[in-house]
Structure 1
Amino acid sequence: MPKLTKRLVESLTVENRDYFVWDDEVKGFGVRIMRSGTRTYQVQYRKGGRTRRASIVRHGTVTIQQARQRTKELLGHVASGGNPVEEISQHRRASAVAALCERFFEAHVLERCKPSTQREYRRSIDFFINPAIGTFKVIDFERRDIADLHHKLRDKPYQAN
């Protein structure tokens, strides 16, 4: 197949199954044409004896040159030891702060704390932690997020600590 261009991508016909067309210029860069007519740019590489493939962006959202450049960046990351598909998968599987709070409450607080302390921990989790940061992924959580929450609770110093 020749070098992918906007005209070529838009001229590809929709079939009754998804298929790929690969670029001659950048190995591992291609476009996926889905039965629905959606076209997405793809990167494909081998890591650990397996072929990995990931969507970069939908056709029309960015230019084909930008998608090709993003592919080069991802392939450079792979060459330096990274694995973008596995990183995305790990991020999706990562626990949220709310789940970590529940695990802490069940494994530690219920086992080692007095009933009054248990109630206070439950109250803190339900009223302060979960509403503010409960949906954050643990791996995305940073020290400044804790500092921000602490700062928001400055009018309740005991609770903030």
Structure 2
Amino acid sequence: MTRNEVSGGDLEYRKLLVEAERKGQEEFDKTVLSLSGGALGVSFVFLKDVIGNQPLDLPGLLIAAWVSWGFSTLAVLLSYHLSIHTIRRCIEQIDRCQRDESFGGVYAEWTKRLNVAGAVLFFVGVISITVFAAFNFSNKGAPNARTSTVKPAVSASAAAPVSNSKP
């Protein structure tokens, strides 16, 4: 056996590693996608319920967070799409015995870049919303100074009219 040949045990182990890598990348993509989408939702609730009608400090940071999370989601979705093309390209290369090229070609490279971009953009959004929240909490004093729409409960004795006339 030469140095470049792989033994049967090593080949099985390699298959397990390839499968583990694939599953890990798939889970990573799902996690970034879920976190970005969830963060968008939480930021809308934060804006509505905590900040309310108060003026915003540094609204550009809130917009930056939303844009970052939107592009993070887009990057992961494009990564999913390009990974299918990468797999197809690898199959074609194997079928044609084209081992002199990098497997997956440009699709593989862009898939990697989009995965990194999705993660980086997610964290840019987290940093932006954190700074935005810090400024808006510290400068407002108390969260959400809106008036309450819930009416206080009135007891039966307080609701009964009081008569001052004597019989």
TM-score, with structure 1 as normaliser = 0.31
Q: Which of the two has greater helix per residue?
A: 2
Q: Which of the two has greater strand per residue?
A: 1
Higher Cα radius of gyration: 2
TM-score, with structure 2 as normaliser = 0.30
- Greater length-normalized contact order (CA 8 Å, ≥ 6 residues apart): 2
